[in-house]
Amino acid sequence: MNESMSSEHERTEPASQFKLSEARKQGQVAKSLDVNSFVMILAFVLILVAAAVNGWYVIGHASETLLVGAGGVYAWGQTAPVDALKYAATALWSVLLTPLCAGVIAAIVANVAQTGFVFSFAPLTPKFERLNPVAGFKRVFTMRLLIDAVKSTFKLAVLVTVAYSTFSAHWQELSNVAVQTASDQLHWFGKTATILLFRLLLALLVFALIDLALVRRQFAKQMRMSRRDMKEEIKRREGDPQIRSKIRQLQRENLKQSKSLSRVADADVLITNPTHYAVALRYVRGQMSAPAVIAKGTERWAADMRQLAVKHGVPIFERKSLARKLFRYAAVDHPVPADTFTDVARLYADLGVYRRRQTNRVEVPA
């Protein structure tokens, strides 16, 4: 018994689509921040490299302006140094604006590519339990944060190692570069920077792919469901089994009543309570041993049956006790119960259905 109970609560089943959609509404999705960072840095570097020629020219001109006027800064007016700094800041901003915007757009695209469009204010909703200092302390010092710290330290160590190995490989070339022309020096620095950036981006790409796999694996594990959870979800989505059974029963009864209404026009007589019950009878001499119930209803269905009887000229006869007895004990498409034969025979005799059906189809008073 205990083993079955524990297996019911073990989260071994993959998350259902319903649970994933509910978690998505709450802003819970599998998202790797390393992927966003890599795509953002890649876009920033590519745009910066593409605009390198014009950028170097703008920065060089700004530097030249600052250096030329540096010797006479004290001879300038009060606004001259401020103007020079504004010019330099504007030049630098004009060079970096496009790569920065490209990085931001790329990060947004990477985020949407991972999770799709997710709009949820649930993470921003204030929760009073977050004000609990003990709970806050537990959130700060968790195993996940420790793992993230170890990951960050490892990534930093790898990036430093890549940068150090790149500089070490080209360190011996510095003595030769020092005696070269400015153009050759700039070319050497550009080539070395390109190699360094390529290696760093390659390392970041590896980190991003590993982190994406780990995040999705962790999210799938977090969203796992137990068998009990699956049963509870089915109840939430479709309702309690007893309620569903009752609904199906009512649907069958409604369908049966709907079919019964269509048969009122073929009845010989409609027996009423007069408002709570209505029972339609039909008898075919030579084919039936006794009159049969072809339709019956109560409350709203009884009212609909009376309206249809009036519409089709079926005689309506009020017999309270007989109507209640036939409704409770007589089955549709079956002869009336034996203990009602006398009352039904008197009804047919009183109405004279067989003598007046074709000539007088009006409501008969009690």
- The per-residue pLDDT for range 38-93, each reduced to its tens digit, is 888 888 888 877 776 677 777 777 776 666 655 555 554 555 566 667 777 787 78
Please say if the pLDDT value at position 31 is more than 70: yes
If one compares 139 and 261, the residue with the highest pLDDT of the two is: 261
Instruction: Give mean pLDDT, residues 319-335.
Output: 89
Q: What is the pLDDT of residues 186-237, one digit of tens each?
A: 777 878 888 888 899 999 999 999 988 888 888 888 888 877 877 777 766 6
Cα–Cα distance measured from residue 158 to residue 299, given in angstroms and rounded to the nearest whole number? 81
Q: What would the pLDDT profile of 161-174 be if each residue is shown by its tens digit?
A: 998 988 888 887 87
Q: In this structure, what are the phi and psi dihedrals at residue 293, rounded to the nearest 5 degrees?
A: -85, 120
Q: Give the mean pLDDT of 276-280.
A: 90
What is the pLDDT confidence band of residue 361, given thresholds at 50, 70 and 90? very low
Report d(CA 117, CA 24) in Å as an integer.
10
**CA angle (97 as vertex; 94, 100 as ends), nearest 5:** 155
Identify which has the larger pLDDT, 143 or 21.
21
**Residue 161 CA from chain centroid, whole number:** 43
pLDDT band at 122 (very low <50, low <70, confident <90, very high): low
DSSP output for 40-79: HHHHHHHHHHHTHHHHHHHHHHHHHHHHHHHTTGGGS-TT
Whether 271 and 326 have beta carbons less than 8 Å apart is answered as yes
Q: Which residues of 66-93 are buried (b: 16+ CB within 10 A; e: fewer)?
A: beeeeeeeeeeeeeeeeebeeebeebee
pLDDT of residue 130: 55
> What's the pLDDT band for 129 if we cut at 50, 70, 90?
low
Sheet holding 277-282, edge to edge: 316-318, 269-272, 277-282, 292-298, 334-335
Residues near 36 by beta carbon (within 8 Å), at least 6 away in sequence: 107, 110, 111, 114
Q: Which residue has the tokens 């027996």?
A: 271
Measured distance CA(93)–CA(312) in Å, rounded: 89
Mean pLDDT value of segment 350-357: 59
Lowest mean pLDDT among 148-152, 233-237, 276-280, 358-362: 358-362
DSSP helix/strand/coil, 222 = helix
> One-letter amino acid identity for 327?
F
pLDDT of 347 over the 70 cut? yes
* C-alpha to C-alpha distance for 349 and 353, rounded to whole angstroms: 8
Domains of the chain, CATH where assigned: 12-235 (no CATH), 245-356 (3.40.1690.10)
- Helical ranges in the chain per DSSP H: 2-9, 17-25, 33-50, 52-70, 80-115, 133-140, 143-170, 174-177, 182-222, 227-238, 241-261, 300-312, 320-329, 341-351, 353-356
Output the pTM of the full model: 0.51
